[in-house]
Amino acid sequence: MSNPAKPRILTGLQPSGTLHIGNYFAALAPQVALSRTDADVFLMVADYHALTSVREGALMRTYIFDLVRDYLAAGIDPERVTLFRQSDNQDHMELAWVFQCLVSVKFLELAHAYKDKVAKGLEATAGLFNYPMLMAADIVLYDVDLVPVGEDQRQHVEYAREAVSKFNLAYGQILKEPKEVIEKSVGVVPGTDGKKMSKSYKNTIPAFGTREEIEKAVLSIVTDSSGDRPEHVFAIHKVLYEQTGRDLSALDALYDEHKGKYKALKDALTADLDAFITPMREKRAGITDTDIKTILASGAEKARTVSNQTLERVRNAIGISL
């Protein structure tokens, strides 16, 4: 069991693409802040979940290394945090199956994320459908108190609670019900076309891109020729200022000073983004694949030590340990 004086927290991200600045500000940065509190933090690379959308082995491998590198570059200290990969611990698969035998198809059919992803064109595989039960296992295996997630993942934590309550009803008070903590919204970070920045819309600015990549993305920001202020350039610039605690009146002054000069304003945004990203990009470049494998191996070992105990309780309760 976790130490009651120290809340245990678990969250994670899927290695399903190159992180953009929307992911950085909404998900990565809050997780880094959390990892610096005195909570007992578990951070998971949800690679089995990513299998619902990534169908190329080489790409999956790249995304896994990338995500761990991103976490480390953004400031995660693997000495303080249990940073591990879902597929390194098969306990997740086993508990997910147990949960799937307890919740109904009707209940899973109500999941917003499933409906949204299918509506966006993702194939309605059995994996995508059962996704919430794997996520429930991810959480419940670690006797987790709190699960910090974005609003889009709130229902999945509710599903984890439901799985626990079905289990405990059948077998006794064995598992702990987790609670979601909805991260203070940074709002929707707009993309280069003014819509929500998303890898599915190809309107992203990479969170750890080279100066050239940042510049290319910024130059592609859609501007209409009327008006003094390039609205979409300003919107992204504003997010950067807000999230890095800079004075917004200085930004207003900059846009007033360069009224109608869209190129100069795009150059200013490129320079500001690059200055923000450069230290992380440099840190990222120094992290080798071997470092990553070592960190993940040690994280997996710590994770298994905890999850094995929970699974032991489950196996005893369901009657498969003879």
Residue 198 found at the interface with ligand ADP (CB under 6 A) = yes
Rule CB under 6 A: which of 135-154 touch ligand ADP? Answer: 150, 152
Among 199, 211, 216, 302, binds ligand ADP (CB under 6 A): 199
d(CA 201, CA 80): 36
Shortest CB 269 distance to ligand TRP, Å:
27
Nearer to ligand TRP, 197 or 265 (CB): 197
Residue 51 found at the interface with ligand TRP (CB under 6 A) = no
Note whether 294 and 79 are within 8 A (CB). no
d(CA 140, CA 178): 7
d(CA 265, CA 149): 34
Residue 70 found at the interface with ligand TRP (CB under 6 A) = no
302 is annotated as an active-site residue? no
Shortest CB 180 distance to ligand ADP, Å:
12
115 is annotated as an active-site residue? no
Tell the burial category of 186 from Cβ atoms under 10 Å away from its Cβ (0-12, 13-18, 19+). middle
Shortest CB 186 distance to ligand ADP, Å:
6
199 is annotated as an active-site residue? yes
Nearest to 23 by CA among 266, 275, 199, 184: 199
**DSSP characters for 73-107?**
HHT--TTTSEEEEGGG-THHHHHHHHHHTTS-HHH
Determine the length of the chain.
322
Among 14, 31, 89, 307, binds ligand TRP (CB under 6 A): 14
**Catalytic one of 6, 115, 195, 196:** 196
Among 19, 20, 32, 49, binds ligand TRP (CB under 6 A): 49
**DSSP characters for 175-225?**
SPPPEEEEPPP--PPB-TTSSBP-GGGT---BTT--HHHHHHHHHTS---S
Residue 51 found at the interface with ligand ADP (CB under 6 A) = no
d(CA 161, CA 136): 8
Among 10, 72, 197, 295, binds ligand ADP (CB under 6 A): 197
**Catalytic one of 199, 216, 261, 302:** 199
Residues that bind ligand ADP (CB under 6 A): 22-23, 26-27, 150, 152, 186, 188-189, 196-200
Catalytic residues: 117, 196, 199
